[in-house]
Structure 1
């Protein structure tokens, strides 16, 4: 009998890797770090031409089969961006999972993304497909269980305990801290996870920067598109 697959849908630069690290520390889940990014960037039918490399076994359906095979052995936790499996993103796909969301003020996520990828695309901001995933989850009759990065870092015990209760997972306060270091599941995107690899817990977040000014029209347009999605999901943020 298959075990549950919990998927945390987020956007780039949102502290989602720290949440994933907490789940790894529990030791009771097989953890996948952005597995569908292989399909998006390195698969045979990739949507992005950002990278030249092709990774075998990285078609979206193959990645899904890999995740579901792991769930035959033990519970699975997946952290990913909703834009990565966009070709699969429908009711049938999301019905396979326990879905949850993590958000952070888009002034922070987009500014950080622009520093890493100044040529980011609209899709790579992550917000449009996150909104689409939320629509589908509600259409399935599942609740919107949302973690806000600022609340998480300000009071990790309260947020994580509430999240565990809503997701049907036993709360383990000992997992709120961990030893620093890289994780094997971070191999593909290790450079993006450097700050988390140095952390020992959720720590403090700097206040988000001001919204991008209109002089940076590209970043401002991305912010204006993201803000309603953030505000929609923030209304469901834990604890609540």
Structure 2
């Protein structure tokens, strides 16, 4: 099975990659289109030179690998994607050959976390409108909220696996500290917290208070988040 997990940045996406990577039957690929995205846009991102040097800058070659044989012959292939990487000029047709899952998080939490690592984020940077656009392209997409995963990791991962027709593996609930062998070249800048973790962080607190431009950005992103949140996996309340 090929699983494409779509999110914006600062969205529990690395922890989810580590969760699937902890399965003995699953290969992972960290942000396959990142180098192509930087090459095509010319954007300045932290560690740009290292990302371009380490990654594949030809988007067509990336897509061919995403739909081809699984790395190391593993039965399952988990692909951690950033929605903002799927710009004009990147063919989306390969998405028909994978199971598409959308990992969402409230924009106030995303923006607060992103701004701590990179100043002055824009709506284009945080991936919400792109996520909604990709969602509309998919047949039978699956949606899961990072808040729900942190509240009940085992319950939500079991529900996600059921939605994918994939057996649940308890190994998904923990991983070794220090990072994953398939981390992208950008990991030293972005992955500090998850490198220190051995499992999903606990329940999130109240939403951060957003002011000024960040409040405006939150309001811009909210309609896209709410659209997908209405379709998310939920567990029965006891």
Calculate the TM-score normalised by the size of structure 2.
Answer: 0.87
**Does the residue aligned with 1:8 lie in a helix, a strand or coil?**
strand
Matched, 1:195 2:193: yes
Residue in 2 that maps onto 1:103 = 104
- Structure 2 residue 216 is matched with structure 1 residue 221: yes
Alignment correspondent of 2:94: 93
| Structure 1 residues 13-28: aligned runs within 5 Å | 13-28=10-25
Q: How many angstroms apart in 1 are the aligned matches of 2:151 and 2:26?
A: 25
Q: How does 1:159-198 map to 2 (within 5 A)?
A: 159-190=156-187, 191-198=189-196
Q: 1:1-240 counterparts in 2 under 5 A?
A: 4-41=1-38, 43=39, 45-50=40-45, 53=49, 54-55=52-53, 57-71=56-70, 73-74=73-74, 75-87=76-88, 92-137=93-138, 142-190=139-187, 191-213=189-211, 216-217=212-213, 219-240=214-235
What is the CA-CA distance between 1:17 and the residue it aligns to?
Answer: 1.1
CA separation of 1:163 and 1:52: change in aligned 2, threshold 3 A = closer
Aligned partners of 1:31 and 1:220: how far apart in 2?
35
The CA deviation at 1:229 is: 1.2
> C-alpha offsets along residues 9-50 of structure 1, whole Å, 9 cap, x if unaligned?
011111111111110001212101111111112x3x235243
Task: Give secondary structure in 2 for the equivalent of 1:100.
Answer: strand
Question: CA RMSD, aligned part only?
Answer: 2.1
CA distance in 1, matches of 2:69, 2:107: 33
Distance 2:224 2:81 in 1: 17
Deviation at 1:179, TM superposition (A): 1.9
Cα offset, 1:125, TM superposition: 1.0
Q: TM-score, length-normalised on structure 1?
A: 0.86
Aligned pair count? Answer: 228
Once residues 211 and 134 of structure 1 are traced to their aligned partners in structure 2, the CA distance between those partners, rounded to angstroms, is 28
Give how far 1:116 is off: 1.0
**Deviation at residue 201 of structure 1 after TM alignment:** 1.1
Indicate how the Cα distance of structure 1 residues 85 and 152 shifts in structure 2: closer, same or farther if over 3 A, else same: same
Tell me how far 1:84 sits from its aligned partner: 0.7
Answer with 153-162 or 199-208: which moved more.
199-208
